[in-house]
Amino acid sequence: AFSGHKMLAPTGIGVLYGKKELLEKMQPFMYGGDMIKSVSEHTATWNDLPYKFEAGTPNIAAAYGLGAAIEYLQKIGIDKIRKHEKELTKYALDVISEIPRIKIYGTQNPETQGGIVLFEHEKLEAHDLALALDESANIAIRSGMLCAEPFVGSINQKGLCRASFYFYNTKEEIDIFTQELQKIVKAFD
């Protein structure tokens, strides 16, 4: 399964891929139009896959957006995107690791990690650091539990920061990010 917005599609759309024989055995957990093939006074028959899991009117505009996003990424080239992402991640890990009182989490290996850097400041809470970056330089990072509460909570109960990089980012933007991060760290020394 994956979320469309992680690959430039609109929010509210994603893909679930499953084995047909397992999906046929599963029962729907939501109900709505077009899920039923037939209804009688005493029985109802689920529609064929995938319709039995698609309650109500589908998000048609987002489905077209997802298709366009996939075509766009294919046109650029997944290998080209991944190469650039690895270069940015390596660069970001190198420069962020030089900032005092910033601790980086994760593999720190661009070959095995996506374009993200997970980190914390030894004194500042994640949300405060994210807000400071936003207010000082209009830099947006994620902060908090990052949809991974068991993992993040085992490291820091108040959350961590996550900087993300993709094919549209540059090393110059990482430089701006790290310069601002250094200013904030110095301000709280």
| Active-site amino acid positions | 147
Q: Which two tokens stand for residue 114?
A: 């996506």
Name, in order, each residue with C-beta under 8 angstroms of 115's C-beta and a sequence gap of 6 or more: 85, 86, 88, 89, 164, 165, 166, 169
* CB-side neighbour CA atoms (13 Å) of 98: 9
CA dist., res. 86 & res. 67, Å (int)? 25
State residue 168 phi and psi, 5-degree precision: -90, -5
Q: Residue 86: which of 106, 115, 65, 48 has the closest Cα?
A: 115
CA dist., res. 110 & res. 89, Å (int)? 6
